[in-house]
């Protein structure tokens, strides 16, 4: 068997070194993306604060709204987008455990989130309002569907936005097609 020359050892060393360096660099980039996803919010925190601030004149339960603020703030990261998107299910479960005054507070908070300027909050709120059968949400959802400056129909994000809002209207027993007449 022929002996390996010095050049073969050098070539093998270079290949192994480059492979190792590529793996280290790749892991570093993935870690940087994960760290950025944990730092980057989905929603402006000021919008959350404004929507979930107790309004004593309305009879809001401050403890419930504080709990909602903490939950939304905890999930307000790109890394937790899937959990944030499923928040309407947690709100439905929470509603089942609340008394009448707290339910009214939750429903008012959902309507305020629906009126916010953030699409994530609008969609989560619309889905929660539909699940909880908040009839007062039908008019704001229809306004969102018919809003000026709406993204074009060819926009994939705009299509998903319209679809979720239309599904919420159907669950609420309202006709989403009445806007297009």
| Residue 3 in domain | no
**Mean pLDDT, all residues of the chain:** 83
pLDDT tier, 33 (very low <50, low <70, confident <90, very high otherwise): confident
| Residue 31 in domain | no
| Residue 67 in domain | yes
3-state helix, strand, coil in the chain (%, to 5): 75, 0, 25
58 Cβ contact partners less than 8 Å away, ≥ 6 residues apart: 105, 108
Residues in the chain: 181
| Residue 14 in domain | no
* Total domain count, the chain: 1
Nearest to 102 by CA among 54, 42, 150: 54
Residue-range definition of the domain harbouring residue 93? 44-175
Nearest to 146 by CA among 174, 112, 127: 174
Check residue 177 and give its pLDDT.
Answer: 59
Model confidence at 150: pLDDT above 70? no
Helix (H, G, I), strand (E, B) or coil at 163: helix
| Residue 55 in domain | yes
């Amino acid at each position: 068997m022929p002996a390996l020359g010095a050049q073969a050892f050098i070539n093998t060393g270079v290949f192994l070194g480059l492979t190792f360096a590529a793996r280290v660099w790749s892991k570093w980039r993935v870690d940087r993306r994960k760290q950025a996803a944990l730092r980057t919010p989905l929603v402006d925190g000021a919008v959350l604060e404004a929507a979930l601030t107790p309004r004593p004149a309305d009879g809001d339960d401050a403890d419930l709204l504080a709990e909602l603020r903490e939950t939304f703030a905890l999930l307000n990261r790109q890394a937790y987008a899937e959990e944030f998107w499923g928040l309407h299910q947690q709100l439905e479960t929470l509603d089942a455990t609340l008394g009448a005054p707290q339910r009214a507070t939750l429903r008012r908070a959902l309507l305020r989130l629906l009126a916010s300027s953030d699409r994530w909050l609008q969609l989560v709120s619309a889905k929660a309002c539909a699940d909880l059968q908040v009839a007062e949400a039908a008019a704001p959802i229809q306004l969102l569907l018919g809003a000026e400056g709406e993204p074009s129909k060819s926009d994939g994000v705009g299509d998903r936005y319209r679809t979720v809002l239309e599904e919420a209207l159907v669950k609420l027993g309202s006709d989403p097609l009445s806007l297009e007449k």
